[in-house]
Amino acid sequence: GARFVSLTGDVARLERAISSYFLDRASQKGYTEVSPPLVVSRTALEGTSQLPKFEDDLFKIMPDSHTCNGEDAFLIPTAEVPLTNMHAGAILEESELPISYCALTPCFRAEAGSYGRDTRGLIRTHQFYKVELVKITTAETSADEHEKLTRHAQECLEELKIPYRKMRLCSGDVGFSAQHCYDLEAWLPSTGEYREISSCSNTGDFQARRMALRYRPAPAADANADEPKKGGKKKKAKKPKPVLCHTINGSGLAVGRTLVAVLE
């Protein structure tokens, strides 16, 4: 049907090779590979801010068929959702950060509001493979980690010799949850235009606040910590209060659109 495709033979093998290349490259760069669930709950999607705004763009599982922990269940629109939610409600230690995850999954999108656009070919489909990159960081390091993640996606394009451009989005184009976003757009000769192949976003503490994802800063060195109190007992250093993490995500890369660029 429209927006669903089947690949066979050499093209199917090329898609698998591209997927493995992106995943292996991310692992070599220090990302921990994850095989996450493809069905998530409403709470998980609210945590990463796909809900409530983008519900029409999601594939929902009928509640009289199945639910997820008693909640509405959905197919994932991106691996960002299960990867970031792995630490929902957690208090991490600063020494654990940054955490870097990568995952290859199918992504499911209804493409609501795109009627009549890209109805043929591999550019806009209801199901497509993507390697997702996710980082959980401190506020102080999130800007640098965002640049590193974006640069990783750029290197994938450069190693495949795909012409592209890097676009820094203005505030009116940045997604609902992001505070800073780069789009990487690959050149497609057949249509004579650049098309998005990766979007790399720094969401700051927006997602972390929604899913209660925090970390405890390392205690500052206290010059008086070793001074004994009255009675000869040493002072016990106070633990710093937990603060919100920052989360970063991006495609590294969208496999279907990379396949198109490589074939062209």
Catalytic residues, by residue number, are: 109, 124, 196, 199, 257
- If you search the block for the tokens 């505070």, which residue do you land on? 179
**Interatomic CA distance for residues 53 and 50, integer angstroms:** 6
| 61, β-bridge pairs | 73
The rounded Cα 255 to chain-centroid distance in angstroms is 15
**Interatomic CA distance for residues 173 and 187, integer angstroms:** 21
Taken in order 124, 125, 126, 131, the sign of the CA dihedral is negative
The answer to whether residues 40 and 73 touch, using CB atoms and an 8 Å cutoff, is yes
- Measured CA distances, 23 to 49, 62, 103, 212, 225 (Å): 25, 32, 7, 29, 46
**Interatomic CA distance for residues 264 and 259, integer angstroms:** 9
